[in-house]
Amino acid sequence: MTTHASGKTRAGCKALLRAFARRRDGSTAVEFSILVIPFALLVFAILESCISFAAQQVMTNATDDVARLYRTGQLRADQLSHDEVRDRICERMEILVSSGCPGLAVDLQTFSSFAQAAALRTPYSNGDLDDTGFDAVSGGAGSKNVLRVYYRWPIITDMMRLSMSTINGGKVLHFASVTWQNEPYAE
């Protein structure tokens, strides 16, 4: 008698499995649950990259604007301190970054030739930018100058932090540089 009951149970289970396999009501939900994780990763990667690119472009434009003020003589070598140059760039970037621009580093130097300016390298130390010698020293009329601006851009999406970060702290180092010769303005 027990073998007969277990035979019915097996037959009932097989019939139930066949009926479940034929049903298509939940197939969309199952397919979506399988695809939602890669889709979400792709969407977050695109958004993170676009926002980061926009911030990089805003920083580049701010750097060009301040460099133009020096190049044309509207700003002179002795008019602004390092912090004031940083603040000028920061006020143009605050549309996309936190107030006060935490992570912003500015370096303005003057050189006697473009070859010297070209030899300038980004100083790294222990996986981060080493901004300990950065200053704001611009030359007078006809001088060759380099304005370098760095920003430690925080990666917003946790799951993208490992693959996108370029420096310590899960951040991307954005960089903008302008090299120019001041116009021969009257000093």
pLDDT above 90: residue 56: yes
d(Cα 59, Cα 53) in Å, to the nearest integer? 10
Per-residue pLDDT, 101? 92
Over residues 175-185, the mean pLDDT reads: 92
Closest among 82, 103, 83, 101 to 91, alpha carbons compared: 101
Helix or strand holding residue 153 (H, E): strand 144-154
pLDDT above 70: residue 1: no
Cβ atoms of residues 74 and 105 within 8 Å: no
Closest among 102, 163, 167 to 128, alpha carbons compared: 167
Q: Token pair for residue 7?
A: 């035979």
Structure confidence by residue, pLDDT tens digits, 13-43: 888 778 767 766 777 778 888 899 899 889 9
- What is the pTM (predicted TM-score) of this model? 0.79
pLDDT confidence tier of residue 185, bands split at 50, 70 and 90: confident
